[in-house]
Chain A
């Protein structure tokens, strides 16, 4: 690991100031992606600004049919939260299958969403539920937030404060985890919301995306069989030693059907 200066921010304002005055500064929360990256010398920040402990980033609240989760909330807290389990059980279930227990004890919602790893779990729920990302500067709709591999709408110095999830009528998450890393080879989040059905896919392409043809098919018939024969463009899908694009395309359909079948059981 290269040298850096660690600063524990006392406020979001101070964190913003540090980011603005040091061009090579980076935020750290749980550090479950960043610290392994630093150990491999794949990043060389001048400063690490720790925001995990800031009061503004904590807490899980249900307010007017919307579930607000602070950016520094750790995965195990979401998985175990009685409020989340009651409001959006699929979100708690998703949090309970991220990485491994040690990762869930450290990793945070905001960190996962800001990093936007193409195989991360949370982006599927954020996009699938049509959540809003509240930052220090504005509110960003999930549909505008995720912009492909490790890319988001966040500007330099902008910090995620919380994510606001509309409570869905029904939602489910089906994941085919890589057996060693725990990352999604492909996973699908399906939500039945007030505005219709949303289907978000992670792990298959260069970033999380909505499978809109599947949404249209499910709007007509909310059954797993409705997804048979629905077109899926796999031209940009990932091909690697674990699975080629065609295999992932098949997994998308299988995981989507499993998620829809789980919906029906609730």
Chain B
């Protein structure tokens, strides 16, 4: 067992976890943050994407002990004071989802992408979402949603 301290969505949590516990399991089972989904269990689908110290990672492929001392943001941490994050708003307005299962991962991957590249081209968006799969194949509206996200983020006073 290992003692792990994570700052998740701005709140510090300390838990005793198994050395082999994956970050996604600690988020979902120990902290009750079930917005981060497990889609494939083989590190391919990207549903479990969160940001770890600001960078998008698949939380099913990171041990919780490896994340010790880090800052984690999950889908639950994006909205502030009841107001959706611009990327969430864009996904809702562009209907960038069908069943919605991949959506938390798509949104977190988009947050990571726009941090590096605030104004991506369509090609860069497609390349930037290579780690995320939508089994409904709703990619057209997802790409629209990322474009709108970028526009909203650029317009936001920071």
Min CB–CB distance A175 → chain B (angstroms):
13
Q: Is B118 an interface residue (CB 8 A)?
A: no
CA distance A101 to B49 in the complex (A): 11
Cβ-defined partner of A6 (8 Å) among B44, B56, B65, B131: B65
User: How many inter-chain residue pairs (CB < 8 Å) link A and B?
Assistant: 79
| Complex interface: chain A residues within 8 A of B55 (CB) | 76, 105
| Complex interface: chain B residues within 8 A of A4 (CB) | 19-20
Q: Is B35 an interface residue (CB 8 A)?
A: no
Interface residues on A, range: 20 to 34
Min CB–CB distance A115 → chain B (angstroms):
15
Q: Is A83 an interface residue (CB 8 A)?
A: no
Q: Is A246 an interface residue (CB 8 A)?
A: no
Q: Given A99-B131, A100-B131, are A6 and B2 neighbors across the interface (CB < 8 Å)?
A: yes
Q: Is A148 an interface residue (CB 8 A)?
A: no
| Complex interface: chain A residues within 8 A of B128 (CB) | 101
Instruction: Kindly supply a per-residue 1/0 record for chain A positions 175-186, scoring 1 wherever the CB is within 8 Å of any chain B CB and 0 otherwise.
Output: 000001110000
Min CB–CB distance A103 → chain B (angstroms):
7
Most buried by B among A31, A80, A102: A102
| Complex interface: chain B residues within 8 A of A181 (CB) | 44
Query: Looking at chain B's contact residues, is the secondary structure mostly helix, strand, loop, or mixed?
Result: mixed
Contact in complex: A35, B116 (CB < 8 Å)? no
Q: Given A99-B131, A100-B130, A102-B109, are A31 and B58 neighbors across the interface (CB < 8 Å)?
A: no
CA distance A40 to B60 in the complex (A): 12
Q: Given A36-B61, A39-B41, are A31 and B130 neighbors across the interface (CB < 8 Å)?
A: no
Identify the closest chain B residue to A3 (Cβ): B20
| Complex interface: chain B residues within 8 A of A48 (CB) | 19, 63
**B residues near A, CB below 8 A?**
2, 18-20, 22, 41-44, 46, 49, 52, 55-58, 60-63, 65-66, 68, 109, 112-113, 116, 128, 130-132
Contact in complex: B57, A1 (CB < 8 Å)? no
CA distance A4 to B1 in the complex (A): 10
Contact in complex: A35, B112 (CB < 8 Å)? no
Between A and B, 29 residue pairs with Cβ closer than 8 Å are A1-B20, A4-B19, A6-B19, A6-B66, A8-B65, A31-B62, A31-B66, A35-B22, A35-B63, A36-B42, A36-B43, A39-B22, A39-B60, A40-B42, A48-B19, A50-B65, A52-B66, A100-B131, A101-B109, A101-B130, A102-B49, A102-B56, A102-B61, A102-B112, A103-B131, A105-B56, A106-B57, A106-B61, A182-B130
Instruction: Kindly supply a per-residue 1/0 record for chain A positions 24-52, scoring 1 wherever the CB is within 8 Å of any chain B CB and 0 otherwise.
Output: 00001001100110111000000010101
CA distance A1 to B61 in the complex (A): 12
Min CB–CB distance B147 → chain A (angstroms):
17
